[in-house]
Chain A
Amino acid sequence: MMHNHRRRLFTPARAIVLFAALIGGAQALAEEAILVQSTTSTQNSGLYDHILPQFTAKTGIQVNVVAVGTGQAIKNAQNGDGDVLLVHAKSAEEKFVEEGYGVARFDVMYNDFVIVGPDADPAGLSNTEDAAAALAELAASGSVFASRGDNSGTHKKELALWQASGVDPANASGGWYRETGSGMGATLNTAVGMGAYSLTDRATWINFKNKGDYRILVEGDPRLFNQYGIILVDPARHPNVKVDAGQAFIDWVLGPEGQAAIASYQVDGQQLFYPNYEGPWPPK
C-alpha cells in the first residue's frame, strides 16, 4: 500500500541530527585558527581589523581575538584559554612568563596614555605636562575622575600615576573618584556622561566616537608611555596551545611585515601605534 511507504521528510531521527548540527558543528573551520587574548584598547581602536587580514592572507591562519581587560586576559591565558597573549602591563606580563605560563615576552609596539576631560577644564589640568602633578591638582580641586577600576593595563598605569602624585584616591571612592569596572570605551562613555576626567590610551581616544566636547588635556609625560607586549602561552603548561601557528603569528607581528602593518594603521590621519620590536629576528 502506497501510504505505508510514504517518505516522511520530518522524522524524529532527522530532527535530532539536524539539531545536533545546529548546536555543535557547522562552524567554518576551513583553516587553522589561533586564539589571541588581548585588550579592549587594541580591538576598539580597530588595529586588528587592519593587520589581521594581512596575516591570514599570507599564512591561511585565522586569528580570533578575545578583547577584555589586561587583567582578565592574563587570567584567561593562565587557564590555557588562548594561544597568544597581547596586552599592555609589562610587569604583569613578566610575572606571567616567570611563573611559567608564557614562553617569552617581546615588545611589540607602543603609544601613550593621555588624560582627557571637558573642554572647559575646571581643574585647570592643561597647564601642566606632568601627569602626576595634574592628578594631584585634580584631587585638590575635587573634580570627578572616572577610573577603569578593572585591573586592566590602563588601570594599573593610572594607579602608578596616583602613587607618584602622593594622593590615595581609594579614600574618595564613590566621591569624586568613580571606578566604573568597565572597558575603556564604556569608561569614556561614563566620563563624558558625568563630566569626569579620565585616563585613556591614545588609540582608543582617537577612535572614540562619543567625545562630546572632550579633548586631550595632559600628554607628553614620559610616564604616560604605553608599551604592548606579546607572549606565546607555554605549551609545557597547556599542551593544547597551538605552538606552530601561535609562533608564526608572533614572528609575523615582530617581523618587518607586521611592524610595517602596525605603523601604517591610521585614523583621521593620525598614527595610533608605533612598532618597537628591536631584538633579533626571528625572535628567540
Chain B
Amino acid sequence: MPSPEATAAAFGEARGLVYQVGERRLIDGIDLRIAAQGLSLIMGANGAGKSLLLRLLHGLLRPTQGEVRWGGRLQDIAVRRRQALVFQRPVLLRRSVIANLRFALRLRGGDSDRDAEQLLAEVGLGAKARQPARLLSGGEQQRLSLARALALRPQVLFLDEPTASLDPASTQAIEDIVLRAKARGTKILFVTHDLGQARRLADEVIFLQCGRIAEQTRADQFFANPASAAAGDYLAGRLVPH
C-alpha cells in the first residue's frame, strides 16, 4: 500500500519531457512530480522555459518526447477540461463582464445568475457586471479572467505570470483570490519571476534553468538555502545565463 503522501505526490507527473523547435531543445528532458494540493511555483530567468513547461503540463503544446499524466491519466482534452489557465495578458471576449463569465459557466454545464454573481463578487467586480469587459482596467481584466478560470471549477489552475504587468494593489487582489482557491483545495501552478511574490505564495519551488529543472524544493528550504548554484545566483540577484 502506498502512503497517502506518495499517492498525492504522483498526482501530476511529467516523464522525459522534451520540446524541440528545429535544433533547439527548449525543454530539455524534464521529470517532475506534482502534489495534488498546494501552490507549486515555477521560477527561473527569462527564457528558462517556464511558460513552455506550463503549456506542456496543460496540454496546449504537444511534447516532442515524453509524456504528461494527471491522476494517472495521459494529458488529453478530458484532463484539460478539469484544468484552467490564466495568461499573462488576459484574453477576454468582446462582450460584457458577466457575459464573459457565463460563457465559461455554460461550458461546464452550469449557468445560473447566482453562480455568476457570486464569482463576480468574489473577484470584486460585482458592480461592473454589465460593462464591456474590454473597457476594464488591466487589473480588473485579469481578475475577470481569473474568475472565468474559477468558473470552470478546475482541479488544477495554471497561472502564467498573471501579475507581471499589474500595480501592487491589483497584484495583491489577484494573489488573494489565488490563495482562497488554494484553500478550497485547487492545485495551483504559478509561474513568476517576482521574488517577493514567490516568497508570499509558494509552497514549493520548481526552479528552471535552460529548459531543465535545477531543483524542486519546499519553499522555506528554497529561500533559506537553495540546493542549486543557479537558484543561489538568482536569489542573490546575480545575472546568470539561461
Q: Tell whether any CB of A sits under 8 Å from a CB of B in the complex.
A: no
